[in-house]
Amino acid sequence: MLITVLHIRKGDPMAIMMTDEQATVVSSAVKSISHIATLPEITLKIIKLVEDPTSTAQDLHLVISHDPALCSRILKVVNSAFYGLPRQIGSINRAVVLLGLNAVKNIAIAASLSKLFRGGELCPNFSARDLWIHSVGTAAASKLVCDQLQLGLPDEAFLAGLIHDIGIMVEMQAERNKLIQVFEQLDIDKDGVPGTNMLELERQILGADHCIYGAGLCEAWKFPPSFAYVTGYHHRPMELEVGSRMLATIVYIADRLIADVNQGFRADLPHLDIDPEILEELKVTPEQLQSIKEQLPQCIEEVESAFS
């Protein structure tokens, strides 16, 4: 079964995440949407290549060169104001030298994911476009948090922020009518604030919430466990084991900061208060939080331009 590894591995924090019934529901949904459940073949090749410690920049260039469109998208991102490199980069080899294999891998994944958020308006309270805007904003904010706190994982944080709500896209593709029911019952006001807990409604109507669907998709994509932790626990990162919390706590903060500036979707956040325990976990000071907030508008604009 698709979720077996995450679901029953002893000592794994994800083992507490879902019941057998939820695992079955998520497995069935992911299998039913092959166009989402399978990343582009070239992206999977890039992931596998970068995870091989013997790989070189030339190896990565050879893989990416087989897809000129992806190559162009990667170079567009690398040359964007978001990265702020001193001169234009004209080759993947040069991008790898300046940013590293892992950074280029994450850019390639992000460029591939943008296509998955094209689904138009599901209902008056939800559109895939709004979710993409929110996801891009959360990615930008996650990188800002990481940079501000000098945590050393900016590219992982960016990708984690980008995919944190990907489970909603699984729901939209596999259980469209049931997801419409969820949004109809959310009692969302004119500012996008829900009057009902979305995660509870999802569990009632769909059998699992978008966090669980997202973790299942990460497993199908064979992403590192850290990304399944983010998708699965971005609403409750302190339930993860100490060594597995960092990315999820970063995204938890970024998610709320973006919603606070009305950046797209926020139906799963009835309030935007940041748990003091999470601020303490990352050692975030009020001054650092304010600095991140001040940098957000420009950073969001740069990321949206890079990935448009």
Is residue 229 within 8 A of residue 247, CB to CB? The reply is yes
Distance CA 15, CA 36 (A): 24
What share of the chain in percent tops pLDDT 90?
42
Token pair belonging to 42: 């070239």
Distance CA 258, CA 264 (A): 8
Mean pLDDT confidence for 157-181? 93
Q: Has residue 220 got a pLDDT over 70?
A: yes
Count how many residues are written for the chain.
308
pLDDT of residue 36: 67
pLDDT of residue 289: 93
Return the bridge partners of 288, or none: none
Q: Which long-range contacts (CB under 8 A, 24 or more apart) does 271-276 make?
A: 275/238
pLDDT of residue 205: 96
Instruction: Choose the CATH number for 4-18+118-306 among 1.10.3210.10, 3.40.50.920, 3.40.30.10, 3.40.50.2300.
Output: 1.10.3210.10
What are the phi and psi torsion angles at 145 (to 5°)? -60, -45
DSSP string, 40-51: -HHHHHHHHHHH
Mean pLDDT of the chain: 86
CATH 1.10.3210.10 domain span(s) along the chain? 4-18+118-306
User: Where is 122: in which H helix or E strand?
Assistant: strand 121-123
Per-residue pLDDT tens over the stretch 18-62:
778 888 888 888 887 766 656 778 888 888 888 888 988 888 888
pTM of the predicted model, to two decimals? Answer: 0.88
b/e map 121-131, b = 16+ CB within 10 Å = ebeebbbbebb
pLDDT of residue 5: 39
pLDDT of residue 3: 40
Q: Has residue 277 got a pLDDT over 90?
A: yes
Per-residue pLDDT tens over the stretch 121-142:
888 888 888 899 899 999 999 9
